[in-house]
Amino acid sequence: MSTDTLKVHPHTTPAVISVSNVSMRYGAKILFEDVSTVFLSGRRYGLTGPNGAGKSTFMKVLTGELDAQKGNVHRPRRVGVLSQDQFAFDAFRVVDTVIMGNKPLWAAFAEREELYLKTDMTDEDGMRLGELEGVVAENDGYTAESDAAILLDGLDIPESLHESKMSELQGGQKVRVLLAQALFGGPDALLLDEPTNHLDLESIHWLQDFMTRYQGTLIVISHDRHFLNSVCTHTADIDYQTIITYTGGYDDMVLAKTQIRSRIESQNEQREKKISQLNEFIARFSAGTRSSQVTSRKKEVERLASSDLARSNIARPFIRFDMKRPSGRHPLEIKGLCKSYGDKQVIRDFTASVSRGEKIGLIGRNGVGKTTMLRSIAANGPGADDKPFELNAGTVEWGHEVAIGYFAEDHKASIQQGLPVLDWLQQYDTQAANEELRGLLGQMLFIREEGMKMTEVLSGGESARILFCKLMLQKPNVLVLDEPTNHLDLESINALNVALQKYDGTLFLVTHDHDLLEEVATRIWHFDGNGIEDFKGGYEEYQAAQQAK
């Protein structure tokens, strides 16, 4: 795909989003307090912070969807916002969905149509029609459909789909239409919350290229480290109940933040030590003759206690995949594997031999058979608890001493509801002591009584983390992971990356995370809808080989 046909030029007025003394809290939890910052024209900002830090809340404050509890936000007149709900526009034509990005124009169109449908139009209706025509003209409404078509063409949505309903499009196509919606009318600022969700790697790479060409103010939330490093000129990080902006992408921010974090935490430690010493003096002498000294120390404690004692809200999980025992040297043989759904053949005559310790990355567009392949090899395998999965032809033969750990794409569905997390985990090793289970849960950030949370109330990220607990408890020698990074924050994805690099067993991995694929995979199976290319080498080598063709 190419972005050469699409030039995005925002209005010439310098776009600046400024935030003054903004605070947001929920109950006793402070997300950020008295934040003042600016987002300048021509810069591309990554908005980072762990799950629960307040990224989406802050983004909603910037878009105006949420009012800040305190403080002010100044934004340009035209702000493009990427809708996260891919299904919200299913009933509308593709071209209409794009035009909806200009809300005043779309509202004017809708009201105008209602008036024209009236059989007995009044003078007042006629005057209102005149006003609406003014709104339409002011917003370039007479060329709206052709302008939307140009955007859609540039975003690789062919003209044949422009009149289609949104419900007829695939996930990656829907995201491009919603991006066109956000861009419609030449916004001065573009605000994107998780734009890479549900996109395959090819679409993500296209979006990276597109974003680097955007010339207004870009603010993006993403849990994709490679995307942030490729796109962002600056990183606005939510931590310590405030927002600190760093120059560069995500990795640049981590390096700079390490130094700042050490300094702030050292200051906090010294302040708390001073408070402790003062309280000790007050306790010893409050009933004695040193009343004036006690009073002055109480005032000092009040002053120090009211100072910023905010701590970093970053929490790092610890993931480590061990094996009870290694498998044989050849854990898997696939011969002539075929799988169809009705008339659609997804896998045809695939044969492969897998050696112990290989880490195979499965890549390709959405819907071409990656999950089907994982289910085909994991179903009925030793230790896998996926439901039976019927093959049309061929065999899947597991080798000596193989034990499989399986992480399904729809991982929430694989967690039994109605149980406390601790009891759910206990099922997978009835001999494990409570202390061991609580230790595992603690490694995955389930602190103290959080282990008694009921499974049905877990968030997507929490569900993923207890599945990692299960895999760490089972200690399999083959891991089959289907989109394990969905719902994880960057800290958890980085921890998973390190754990998979250190894992000594065999791995089958479907992921749209570029860095995870590049740093973990030693072999690539590329699905293109016509067949599967089996490449003996890492992702970087595979890309180089493709470019050389």
The domain spans of the chain are 90-102+144-185, 104-138, 260-305, 332-548
- The Cα-based distances of 97 to 89, 142, 321 in angstroms read 7, 16, 46
Confidence of residue 3 (pLDDT cuts 50, 70, 90): very low
Q: Cα–chain-centroid distance for residue 421? A: 24
Pick the CATH number of 332-548 from 3.40.50.300, 3.30.470.10, 3.40.50.150, 3.40.50.1580: 3.40.50.300
Higher pLDDT, 237 or 290: 237
Per-residue model confidence as pLDDT tens digits over 366-412: 888 999 999 999 887 887 666 678 889 999 999 999 999 999 988 77
pLDDT of residue 367: 82
Per-residue model confidence as pLDDT tens digits over 466-480: 999 999 999 999 999
Alpha helical stretches, state H, 324-366 = none
Nearest to 178 by CA among 143, 208, 221, 207: 207
Higher pLDDT, 527 or 3: 527
Helix axes 171-183, 144-154, angle to 10 degrees: 130
Phi, psi of 36 (to 5 degrees): -130, 120
Cα 16-22-24 angle, rounded to 5 deg: 130
Per-residue model confidence as pLDDT tens digits over 414-445: 899 999 999 999 999 888 888 899 999 999 98
pLDDT of residue 262: 73
Q: Compute the distance between CA of residue 191 and CA of residue 250 in angstroms, rounded to an integer.
A: 18
Query: Which tokens belong to 351?
Result: 């044969």
Higher pLDDT, 111 or 274: 111
Q: Three-class SS string for 51-95?
A: CCCCHHHHHHHHHCCCCCCEEEEECCCCEEECCCCCCCCCCCEHH
Per-residue model confidence as pLDDT tens digits over 228-256: 999 999 999 998 788 999 999 999 998 88
pLDDT of residue 385: 63
Alpha helical stretches, state H, 286-366 = 291-305
User: How many other CB atoms sit within 10 Å of the CB of residue 528?
Assistant: 12
Is pLDDT of 314 > 60?
yes
> Under a CB-based contact definition with an 8 Å cutoff, are residues 19 and 36 in contact?
yes
For residue 443, the surrounding DSSP H or E stretch is helix 434-443
User: How many other CB atoms sit within 10 Å of the CB of residue 521?
Assistant: 26
pLDDT of residue 66: 92
pLDDT of residue 13: 46
Q: Compute the distance between CA of residue 13 and CA of residue 291 in angstroms, rounded to an integer.
A: 63
pLDDT of residue 164: 96
Average pLDDT over residues 323-347: 93
- Burial profile 211-235: b = 16 or more Cβ within 10 angstroms, e = fewer: beebebbbbbbbbbbbbbbbbbbbb
Q: Compute the distance between CA of residue 415 and CA of residue 420 in angstroms, rounded to an integer.
A: 11
Confidence of residue 269 (pLDDT cuts 50, 70, 90): confident
Higher pLDDT, 400 or 287: 400
- Burial profile 242-281: b = 16 or more Cβ within 10 angstroms, e = fewer: bbbbbebbbebbbebbeeebeebeeebeeeeeebeebeeb
Average pLDDT over residues 92-105: 94
Confidence of residue 6 (pLDDT cuts 50, 70, 90): very low
Start-to-end Cα distance in the chain? 17
CA dihedral 495, 500, 501, 503 (to 10 degrees): 120
Q: Compute the distance between CA of residue 444 and CA of residue 346 in angstroms, rounded to an integer.
A: 36
- Write the burial class of residue 452 (CB in 10 Å: 0-12 exposed, 13-18 middle, 19+ buried): exposed
Query: Which tokens belong to 349?
Result: 């005559």
| 445: amino acid identity, one letter | L
How much is the mean pLDDT over the chain? Answer: 88
Q: Compute the distance between CA of residue 488 and CA of residue 496 in angstroms, rounded to an integer.
A: 10
Is pLDDT of 2 > 50?
no
- The Cα-based distances of 492 to 255, 312, 495 in angstroms read 18, 16, 5
Q: Is 5 helix (H, G, I), strand (E, B) or coil?
A: coil
Cα 81-83-85 angle, rounded to 5 deg: 170
Nearest to 507 by CA among 409, 404, 379: 404
Per-residue model confidence as pLDDT tens digits over 478-534: 999 999 998 888 889 999 999 999 999 999 999 999 999 999 999 999 998 789 999
> Under a CB-based contact definition with an 8 Å cutoff, are residues 234 and 220 in contact?
no
Per-residue model confidence as pLDDT tens digits over 145-170: 999 999 898 888 999 999 999 999 98
Average pLDDT over residues 103-112: 92
> Under a CB-based contact definition with an 8 Å cutoff, are residues 165 and 91 in contact?
yes
pLDDT of residue 374: 94
Q: Cα–chain-centroid distance for residue 170? A: 19
pLDDT of residue 339: 93
| 487: amino acid identity, one letter | H
DSSP 8-state assignment for residue 13: S
pLDDT of residue 307: 52
- The Cα-based distances of 412 to 299, 448, 452, 459, 501 in angstroms read 52, 22, 17, 9, 25
